[in-house]
């Protein structure tokens, strides 16, 4: 039986290094553009009121993994003192199909989304820019700022 790694949001936050995540996201985008990586159609369902869920999945051939991410958004959770976004990532070996990891999707999504913005900034930002504007203070704001500070020139 295969060893399955399980990581909580706290563990992911302590283990991940934003510059490395930015490079990994850039590499994944390159693989997607060159077709060794594949995204499968997203599943989305409105759950009523201020709640929905989606499932995103795909394969990353260079890493010999495929996986899925299920995210649930419940807009009323803030009033309950709970996070609005919750989910899990499941990774499997693309050689054997065995599960290799179960990861907290909330923390991973924050890092990945912040890194995606940084990949764009690294390629498109004005090299003389001295100001960063972040609109909004939601759960993504800290990740966006952290990622941008890794790639912006000043």
Integer Rg of the chain from CA: 17
Q: What is the pLDDT of residues 136-151, one digit of tens each?
A: 877 888 999 999 988 8
Model's pTM, two decimal places? 0.86
Q: Which parts of the chain register pLDDT below 50?
A: none
Q: Is 131 exposed, middle or buried (0-12, 13-18, 19+ CB in 10 A)?
A: exposed
**Average pLDDT for the chain:** 91
pLDDT at site 17: 93
Distance in angstroms (rounded) separating the CA atoms of residues 46 and 78: 18
Question: CA 20: distance to chain centroid?
Answer: 13
């Amino acid at each position: 039986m295969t060893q399955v790694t399980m990581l909580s949001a706290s563990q992911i936050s302590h283990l991940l290094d934003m510059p490395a995540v930015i490079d990994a996201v850039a590499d994944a985008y390159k693989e997607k553009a060159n077709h060794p990586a594949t995204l499968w159609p997203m599943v989305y369902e409105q759950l009523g009121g201020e709640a929905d869920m989606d499932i995103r999945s795909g394969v990353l051939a260079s890493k010999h993994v495929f996986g899925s991410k299920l995210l649930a958004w419940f807009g009323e959770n803030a009033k309950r003192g709970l996070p609005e976004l919750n989910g899990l990532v499941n990774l499997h070996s693309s050689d054997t199909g065995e599960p290799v990891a179960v990861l907290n999707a909330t923390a991973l999504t924050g890092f990945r989304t912040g890194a995606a913005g940084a990949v764009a900034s690294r390629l498109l930002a004005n090299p003389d820019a001295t100001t960063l504007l972040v609109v909004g203070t939601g759960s993504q704001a800290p990740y966006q700022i952290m990622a941008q500070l890794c790639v912006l020139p000043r």
